[in-house]
Structure 1
Amino acid sequence: MKTIKKYKHFLPVVVYGIFYLKCFQYLETHITKGYHLIHTPFDDMIPFCEFFVIPYFMWFGYIAWSVLYFGFCNKNRREYYQLIINLGIGMTAFLVISYLYPNGQNLRPTVFPRENIFTDLVRGLYLTDTPTNVFPSIHVYNSVAVAVAVEHSEQLKNRPVFRNVCLGLTVLIVFSTMFLKQHSVSDVCCALVMNAGTCMLLYRPAKAGNALRTREKKAKYRM
């Protein structure tokens, strides 16, 4: 019972995770034709590069690590809720958009320019991941959400190397979605704009509150 009470803050993640996977499975099996093709002229300027499959797959561990770290290791519970709420907003918006505006892309190469272990991994990715339900990019949205959470973390503010590693991985993941032809530039831009909005909603008020409390403490100390 004590263990359940101690980790009850993970319950929303588990419940939402099940809900999200069920909804995503429904979208993947029902949106197979008649969807809007997402494409921009910029997509044609970006070459296919199979080496980006590494950061693309690292995304799964990156997101899992972030939730576990902020849930288990970070003492500031507010920062944990900021992260999971941010992730939840983006993923829910993605589900709603995919349902109301069925979308997909046809950017994937029919023939790879090279054959190597990385193209084999990309081939496996293409077989398991349909080219539908791509707008906005959840890979991009969630990665940026984690980078923002790390950047705003009080516990990590004195670990610049770690924060820079997270930022670098986030940038690589964002680029990987386009260089692997998994997403259009439109998908990426939409995810970035959405994240900018949620960050202002979730992090600006908290930052202002912290600044106010700091000023009050200084004023009290001077008295």
Structure 2
Amino acid sequence: MKRYYEKYKHIIPLAIFGVIYVLWFYLLEHRTNVQYMVVHMNIDDYIPFCEYFVVPYLLWFAYVPAVLGYLFFKDRRNYDRCAVFLCTGMLIFLVISTFIPNIQHLRLHTMPRHNVFTVLVSQLWQTDTPTNLFPSIHVYNSLGAHFAVMNNETLSGKKWVRRGSLILCVSIILSTMFIKQHSMFDVLMAFIMGAVMYATVYYYDVVGAYRFQTGK
């Protein structure tokens, strides 16, 4: 048991954060008597609704865990980087949502068509409120997953993995706007935060510097 603990104990901080994130987000989603700031940009009105993008939107729920899972077993150094990247962004998102409650009014009142994709979008809208939007975690975590792929020597060396990750990342980012889950503002905020965190985690390698100083 001790051998397995020493080998896999690096999952503990992420697991603890995951519990905190889910509880915190649940409380945010179920607040009452809240005055919301409406998130909107003029360009949002020109982005058409396209229900087919619900597919890459839902693939996000497999994409990010798959990258993290691979790094967890294969690349401890980049697992730590990716975990710090993701958790820091999600923590900032929670703080922003706590002190700047926000909402969007982009969703359609009625679906223009009836098919399996519009049904999926309708079900998604029923389970996910149009509140607590920026920065878009779908966008931010997709960037984080792709950055992790590109910084892993094995994965970045496989052309099909590199291109597949990029295509999926871009598709997920576009999906947030085409199925009216997010405003362009949320996407831009995610890109800005992603750029700052990329510099912090990968360029300046604060995780590696911390481990060097502490010997962990």
For 1:26, the aligned partner's letter is: L
Residue equivalent to 2:9: 8
Q: Unaligned regions of 5+ residues in structure 2, if any?
A: 209-216
| Separation in 2, partners of 1:29, 1:53 | 25
Structure 1 residue 107 and structure 2 residue 106: aligned?
A: yes
TM-score by length of 1: 0.89
| Separation in 2, partners of 1:33, 1:96 | 15
For 2:163, the aligned partner's letter is: N
Matches within 5 A, 1:1-223: 1=1, 2-30=3-31, 33-74=34-75, 77-206=76-205
Does the Cα contact within 8 Å between 1:31 and 1:102 map onto a contact in 2?
no
Report % sequence identity.
45
Q: Deviations over 1:90-133 (max 9, x none)?
A: 00000000001000101000011111000000000000000000
Residue equivalent to 1:217: none
Task: Note closer, same or farther for the CA distance 1:141–1:32 as it changes in structure 2 (3 Å cut).
Answer: farther
Q: Deviations over 1:40-96 (max 9, x none)?
A: 10000000000000000000001111111100123xx22111100000110000000
Give the superposed CA RMSD: 1.4
TM-score by length of 2: 0.92
| Separation in 1, partners of 2:185, 2:33 | 20
Return structure 1 stretches of 4+ with deviation > 2 angstroms: none
Out of 159-168 and 178-187, give the one that drifted further: 159-168
For 1:192, the aligned partner's letter is: F
| Separation in 2, partners of 1:135, 1:148 | 20
- Corresponding residue SS for 1:25: helix
Q: Unaligned regions of 5+ residues in structure 1, if any?
A: 210-223
